[in-house]
């Protein structure tokens, strides 16, 4: 998606060779016009797949998922990062390793909101090592729901997540795929 690539070039910040900051427009301050175009594009890609639920992970996926869901006319569920050791009640649970902090945490979704009748589209801001997406996929599988695919805003294609998830047979559509980047040289190359 040219619009997103151009915006990353203009307002994104590269940290080292691994981290891309997009907090001026995507995951801290949010440019709603841009995210509206992102939602439209996800609908163009997945609109004919019978999606009836969008699933994301807190926190930065939520806003993007909500705007996207308006085009699909379906509810959004966000997997909660569980802070307590005791997992309360009737929930599906899975583990995610944080890309930014390296810590492993549980994510949960109530069984009330996901089940075998559901056709699920996953939405997230970034795809790096694939742990967040893998955690969401596990929740969908545990629920016996159908996974339609994943819509990602920014995939860092030089990290292994995209290849890993696609190798599982999951349809992954990333709107901007970063091939290489380097803070020192200013390199930012898209696939
Ligand atoms: P993964 O689980 O694929 O390794 O990482 C995905 C999650 O880590 C995303 O939900 C996102 O919040 C965060 N993340 C990964 N890489 C980056 C990055 O380069 N910049 C930002 N801002 N977040 C990232």
- Overall pTM surpassing 0.75 (yes/no): yes
Residue 100: the pLDDT is: 82
Q: Give the strand pairing for 19-21 and 13-15.
A: antiparallel
* Cβ(125)–Cβ(159) below 8 Å: no
Residue 88: the pLDDT is: 60
Q: For 128-175, how does the pLDDT look when each residue is reduced to its tens digit (9 = 90+)?
A: 999 999 999 999 999 999 999 999 999 999 999 999 999 999 999 999
The answer to whether the Cα torsion of 160, 68, 25, 83 is positive or negative is negative
- The torsion of the CA quartet 85, 86, 89, 90, rounded to 10 degrees, works out to 40
Task: Quote the ligand 1 centre to 127 CA distance (angstroms).
Answer: 6
155 lines ligand 1 (CB under 6 A): no
Q: Give the strand pairing for 187-190 and 146-156.
A: unpaired
8 lines ligand 1 (CB under 6 A): no
Task: Quote the ligand 1 centre to 169 CA distance (angstroms).
Answer: 21
Q: How far is residue 143's CA from residue 118's CA, in Å, rounded to a whole number?
A: 9
Position 85 pLDDT exceeds 60: no
Residue 86: the pLDDT is: 53
C-beta neighbour count of 185 within 10 angstroms:
10
Both tokens assigned to 79: 């997997």
- DSSP type of residue 79: E
21 lines ligand 1 (CB under 6 A): yes
Q: How far is residue 95's CA from residue 120's CA, in Å, rounded to a whole number?
A: 19
Q: For 14-55, how does the pLDDT look when each residue is reduced to its tens digit (9 = 90+)?
A: 999 999 999 999 999 999 999 999 999 999 999 999 999 999
């Amino acid at each position: 998606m040219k619009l997103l690539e151009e915006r990353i070039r203009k307002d994104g910040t590269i940290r080292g060779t691994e981290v891309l900051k997009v907090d001026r427009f995507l995951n801290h301050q949010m440019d709603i016009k841009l995210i509206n175009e992102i939602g439209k594009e996800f609908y163009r890609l997945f609109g004919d797949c019978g999606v009836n639920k969008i699933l994301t992970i807190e926190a930065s996926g939520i806003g993007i998922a909500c705007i996207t869901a308006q085009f699909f006319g379906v509810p959004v569920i966000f997997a909660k990062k569980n802070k307590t050791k005791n997992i309360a009640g009737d929930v599906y649970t899975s583990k995610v390793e944080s890309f930014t902090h390296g810590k492993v945490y549980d994510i949960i979704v109530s069984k009330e909101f996901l089940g075998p009748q559901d056709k699920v589209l996953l939405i997230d801001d970034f795809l790096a090592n694939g742990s967040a997406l893998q955690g969401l996929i596990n929740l969908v599988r545990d629920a016996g729901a159908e996974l339609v695919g994943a819509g990602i805003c920014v995939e860092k294609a030089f990290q292994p997540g995209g290849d890993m998830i696609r190798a599982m047979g999951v349809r992954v559509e990333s709107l901007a795929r970063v091939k290489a980047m380097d803070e020192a040289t200013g390199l930012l190359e898209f696939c």
